[in-house]
Amino acid sequence: MLKKIIAVLLCVILGVSSFSLSVFAAEEKGNDYPFVFVHGLMGWGEYQGIDKFMPYWGTTSGDIPKYLEKQGYDVYTACVGGASSAWDRACELYAQLAGTTVDYGEAHSKEHGHSRYGRTYDEPLCPTFGKTDENGDIIKINLIGHSMGGVTVRLFASLLEYGDPAEKKAGNDVSDFFKGGKGEYIHSITTLSAPHNGSLAADKDTYPIINIMVHSFYYIWGILDNTPLRPIWDIQMEHFGLTDYPDDGFEGDFDMELIETMLNSKDSAYYDLTVKGAAEANERIKMLDDVYYFSYSSECVFEGPITGNLYPEPTMNPLFLLTSPPICSYDRDELFGIAIDENWRVNDGIVSTNSAHHPDGEPYKDYDDNNLEKGIWNVMPVMESFDHTDYMGVFTNPIEIRKFYKEVCGLAASLPA
């Protein structure tokens, strides 16, 4: 009887958060390239213990990667720094895929005051990364990034193809990642509610309560990373000296001043989430002409019939009740010289819908199934009544979220090799 009651309650919870999808997938398969999923802020991947019982991709709705593998897709879930900058995360992603030691770059590490090298991955996350098939052709990858993961995969692709001038000048011992010329490794990039142009929730001057909340989270994560709980959910901040490296135990020299230094620097996820930080990242990141780009955005707010103001929908994750309302009522018309209009108020809980469409200054067009182009953002229809964690499958209808990812992967797999 107890099991039946639990089953009924679960169905009710999942039913409340069901949604209508507006995605497309071609029936014919054009390639068999593997998929690499990259999580967002404070996320995790298959290297961490938490993923065994609560996968980031399918948190309460079932393991999405395992489902996709049963559908015939080759799927890998990366595990990069949960609180780190897009640059540091991109470097970690490369090391995982290639099976090597993380190199944050000599120039970058000196500029931001942290160690140049990170942890070592003895085996590549994706065994075929950078390899060729029997015909001598590169076995490419399809990248899918949620939230900060979307910014991460964009920068990752840009560095693979174009390298970094500062790192090339810094010395002879330059990581292959910074040399460029590897853009052919990537077939497609799909971003899911990525803060391409930043998030208004990161405006700490306007909303100090959010700034306090973020600082508190960083302190908590830093402390937990110096306990035996680290293997379960590792935030990966050892290059800043906040924790020991994985093989060195759990007695890192946690220092609150270091947390403040990290948060106030330009080398953290928090800075990259700001409108200013995102604009600087957009100047650095370049698109690849031979890669397909797709972006998904979402909204989970409604207009009050009397006031005309925007409010979070009842189905929005309660976690966003601190962030969504300030975005809904944001009244500044510019931020760091960047124009902010009323369209920025529509959001999914933490990211404005228009920020997730495409990075400012990059070419884009609405998705057209009959005219898919490379080197341009194919902007998918907005996911309505869909909040930021629905992409993770947090209390999301398990049937619908599986259908969504099957169609996302189906679209990328339908593209010519």
CATH code of 153's domain? 3.40.50.1820
298 forms beta bridges with 383
Phi-psi region of 395 (alpha: psi -120 to 50; beta: other; left: phi over 0): left
Residue 247: what pLDDT?
65
13 three-class SS: helix
Residue 15 has pLDDT above 70, yes or no: no
Instruction: Please tell me the predicted confidence (pLDDT) of residue 17.
Output: 37
Q: What is the number of structural domains in the chain?
A: 1
Catalytic site residues? 147, 348, 388
Q: What is the pLDDT of residue 28?
A: 64
Q: According to the model, what pLDDT value does residue 25 have?
A: 42
Q: According to the model, what pLDDT value does residue 315 have? A: 95
Decide: residue 171, CB within 10 A, 0-12 exposed, 13-18 middle, 19+ buried: exposed
* Most confident region among 7-11, 117-121, 151-155 by mean pLDDT: 151-155
Beta bridge partners of residue 334, listed in sequence order: 339
Amino acid at 279: A
Judge contact between 129 and 98, C-beta under 8 A.
Answer: yes
Q: Which domain holds residue 122?
A: 2-414
Contact in structure between 182 and 160 (CB atoms under 8 Å) = yes
Most confident residue range from 6-20, 232-246, 323-337: 323-337
Could you read off the pLDDT of 17-42 as tens digits, one per residue? 333 444 444 446 789 999 999 999 98
Band (pLDDT 50/70/90 cuts) for residue 250 is: low
Confidence band for 1, pLDDT divided at 50, 70 and 90? very low
Q: Which amino acid is at 226?
A: N
Mean pLDDT, the chain, integer: 88
329 in Cβ contact with 335 (< 8 Å): no
Spatial separation of the C-alpha atoms in residues 128 and 314, rounded to whole Å: 44
Instruction: Please tell me what DSSP assigns to residue 244.
Output: -
Segment 63-88 mean pLDDT: 96
Please determine, for residue 69, whether its predicted confidence score (pLDDT) is greater than 60. yes
Of 236-240, 354-358, 376-380, give the lowest mean pLDDT range: 236-240
pLDDT of residue 195: 97
With cut-offs at 50, 70 and 90, classify the pLDDT of residue 217.
confident
**pLDDT above 90: residue 381:** yes
Cα(310)–Cα(318) distance, rounded to whole angstroms?
A: 16
Supply the pTM of this predicted model: 0.91
Residue 243 and residue 119 in contact, taking contact as beta carbons nearer than 8 Å: no
Task: Give the mean model confidence (pLDDT) for residues 100-124.
Answer: 95
- Tokens 């209009």 locate to 341
Residue with tokens 């302190």: 219
- What is the reported pLDDT for 253? 60
